[in-house]
Amino acid sequence: MTDTEVAKKSSLPKWEQEARDSIRSAIRRFNKPLQDIISRDANEGDTRIVVTDFLCTALGYDKFEDLTTEFAVRGEFADYGVRIDKQLAAFIEVKRVAQQLNVRHLRQVETYAVKEGLEWIMLTNGQRWQAYHVYAKTGQQVATHLALDVDLLGDEPTSKKIDSLFYLHRDALKRGLIDDLWKRKAATAPSSLADVLLTDSVLDAVRKEIRRTSGYNPEPEELARIIRDEVVRPDLFLK
């Protein structure tokens, strides 16, 4: 553990440190079982066994109180419904360990979330864990965005995996920390920053700086066009 990690550990609340420790331990412990089920191309049922164990061992969920398998959603079934203090908080869709997660799997569980009014869904094949934020407002197109993506067997440092998986831990989910994470990501997303660049106050500040440094005083409309068409990627503005 680096000096930075030691300093960070000493400043954490007890509950958070315990959550991170359980995730760290589970990442090590699940390495071999994951490799084993991958090598034998385990089916979805066997993958779910590993997923359930990881949810309980690493992420702090009680399999009886917090997890409901085959959660009924208006005639269909989500693989897991996650409850926090008896309130439905998220859905989890599980795929066979050797199956690559894709958009079709995401759309399947996204539909369940929209029907139940949930903002969070998880997609996993046991090895890879993804969390998505779902925004669904009446009369508007559903917007689903990746919030975090962790490969338990990937080359990313263990500390990075822990930092991401921590937001999926029951105690973190209960405290709404993943919502805070999403707000930060959304606020600094390329499209959000591009919108900020085109606000009147920013355009005015840019115009004044150009005038100060060059003597040229461009019109705000001209600046907006240049920023939109030549400075940032045009596809960021496609809604």
- What are the structure tokens assigned to 169, written together? 């831990």
Query: Is 217 a residue whose pLDDT tops 90?
Result: yes
Query: Is 23 a residue whose pLDDT tops 80?
Result: yes
**CA geometry: angle 154, 120, 107, nearest 5 deg:** 80
How far the first Cα of the chain sits from its last, in Å, is: 44
Q: Between the CA of residue 47 and those of 53, 58, 142, what are the distances in Å? A: 10, 16, 29
β strands within 18-86, DSSP E: 67-73, 76-84
59-73, 94-108, 156-170, 187-201 — which is least confidently predicted? 187-201
User: Residue holding tokens 């559903």?
Assistant: 142
- Which tops the pLDDT comparison, 92 or 2? 92
Q: How far apart are the C-alpha atoms of 82 and 85, rounded to whole Å?
A: 10
Q: With pLDDT > 70 as the criterion, what percentage of the chain qualifies?
A: 92
What is the phi/psi pair of residue 145, to 5°?
-130, 145
Contact (CB, 8 A) for 117 and 87:
no
Chain segment 6-17, per-residue pLDDT in tens = 555 568 999 999
Over residues 84-101, the mean pLDDT reads 95
Question: What are the boundaries of each domain within the chain?
Answer: 3-187, 190-237
Query: Is 153 a residue whose pLDDT tops 90?
Result: yes
The three-state secondary structure class of 38 is: helix
Q: How far apart are the C-alpha atoms of 200 and 222, rounded to whole Å?
A: 12
Overall pTM surpassing 0.85 (yes/no):
no
At 239 the pLDDT is: 42
Q: What is the DSSP string of 56-71?
A: HHTT---TTTTEEEEE
Chain segment 103-139, per-residue pLDDT in tens = 989 998 999 999 999 999 999 999 999 999 999 876 6
Contact (CB, 8 A) for 33 and 50:
yes
The answer to whether the Cα torsion of 231, 232, 238, 239 is positive or negative is negative
At 185 the pLDDT is: 87
Residue 143: its H or E element: strand 143-151
Over residues 44-66, the mean pLDDT reads 96
Q: How far apart are the C-alpha atoms of 177 and 44, rounded to whole Å?
A: 30
- Where residue 193 falls among pLDDT bands split at 50, 70, 90? confident
At 238 the pLDDT is: 46
Query: Is 44 a residue whose pLDDT tops 80?
Result: yes
Over residues 66-78, the mean pLDDT reads 93
